Chain A
Amino acid sequence: MWRSCFRLGAGSGSFPRRACLLPASRLGPGDQAGPAPGLALLRRAYAPPAERKKFYQNVSITQGEGGYEINLDHRKLKTPNAKLFTVPSEALAVAVATEWDSQRDTVKFYTMHLTTLCNTSLDNPTQRNKDQLIQASMKFLDTDTICYRVEEPETLVELQKNEWDPVIDWAEKRYDVKIGSSTNIMGPDIPAKTKETFISLLASYNMWALQGIEFVVTQLKSMVLSLGLIDRHLTVEKAVLLSRLEEEYQVQKWGNVEWAHDYELQELRARTAAGTLFVHLCSESSTVQHKLLQE
């Protein structure tokens, strides 16, 4: 009841109407613990998450039971779900530690893509299993960027043909499948056998690598380009360029806007590179083989 009194006292017309229309009986016990409703409603919903003040000085890596752990000033790094942050490979631990170590006065979480990917893999916040992860990536094959072609203007048609066809040819030869391309709005007709091949290919990766693969696929909006990256056929720069081919064409024609085109390009490159590196670091098994033992 104190809540409604507070609202009536402080309200006097300036409060949002929604708060006043909410009947008191619908307020659950959990609502009592939250901040005053007026403050929560007045905050802008689209404001970006605040950067945190840098609360540590030294970053170090220790080897624990489950893998490599990150320490910030003798405190162990935890995931958002308060799990212990452990990663399977040393190289990944070094890269994550470098991300934390290179923050200046504030911790900018939006630049720490590898940390984010590790957190997602450790927490699995949407509780997806392996099949769902594979399906989430496979969804992009039906509407693969490089299989969708335009019919006009002619220069763009030619550009798409020259740039995208070699990648599709490579993928068809490499995986022995049929992909094809289409100018139809319904997209290309991908045979069921192709999908089966890709599903069994993805199933050979572990959960961590699959999280990374899904991340790359959703960035590039293309399964074929992502496979090219994971198979080390394309560099990140090239894959991002191919993914944004039409935008690059428009930039060449109409001019480059630094705060839109360049900004997106750099962000996409950073995210794609992080995802690719994550897949490679998480999927490599024992990398040292003794030659004598093989004989």
Chain B
Amino acid sequence: MPLNTPQTLLIVDDNEMNREILRLNFLDRFTIVESSNGLEALNYVKEHNDEICAVLLDKVMPVMDAIEFLHEVRNLNLLKSVPIFIVTAQADAISNFVNDDLGITDVIEKPFNAAFLKKRVSSQVELFLTRRSLEYTNLKQRVIIEKKTRDFAELNVKVITTLALAIEFRSGEVGEHVQNIRSLTRAILRKMREIGYEGCADFSDEKIELISYASILHDVGKIAISDLILNKPGKLTPEEYEVIKTHSKKGAEIISKINIDESNPIMRYAYDICLHHHERYDGKGYPDGLKGDEISIEAQVVGLADVYDALTQERCYKRAFSKEEAINMMVTGQCGSFNPKLLAVFVSIIGKLDFEKNTEEDQKALKTLAQSLI
């Protein structure tokens, strides 16, 4: 049972004897509070709403009668589900109570039979308390389930992140690439939103985090590529390059086979990014040879971030280029082909980026992502 089980029976009647009779009958069961009119009762209810388990209400009273009291109570959303009994000498004159849908539980006619009165009131109070207790239990269980779902979603994020890092380590890298891609993707998308870039002006924080998170899976298909080719020092043969190119399709296949709800936006973004992050703006990319805006904005952004990070990091087959060299190679078309507007956005922010990991921002992003996975 909830800690604060309501125990108060509110008796509202302008006649002292009527109140005393009712009090005597329920003294052993409830805490009794008496009011001599509707207004007095209303003021009490406002202060002690959660303590009341039933109301016994006379119909005709001075100052404020039963109908006015009930209207006030319903308008203020008080005494929700609490049993309310009209105690009246004129039970046949209660149609206006029923018609007004004021939530009357029962009508008790004077003179009442004490045994029946006690039974009727007690059974309704029991029902009310049981329902309340069940609602409380449900609420507690809902809180527990929500916490577990949140924990599970956070774990989910961590597992997928770990998978992306594992693939990167297998490629002989140190785990910075996927984090860099994520940071770059997030920074570029935020800037695009800020300047009102076409199609990005209404991007929410959540959407940006989802795309950024999905970006870390861009090379997940490399898990299907042989170590001999993946970690080969030096230049790849045309045949080997063709094998490497299959990683985008393989990645999309892996994503589509992860049995997560298809409506999950992360998986939709991840699928598209895996499949199309090697497409080129001039249509000479792979696997589908998409051109211009046929390539989704998220795949364009991740593709650009991937090229930049690959150029500026040392690999088994190349040295690390400086930031300026990398930008020059991208702008002059020596490396990749990008939407000029997107490239301009990237160039405008690249000097200000900081790639520190495990920042407070990443922790907040983790929570946002977990929320979106629930």
**A and B are interacting partners:** no
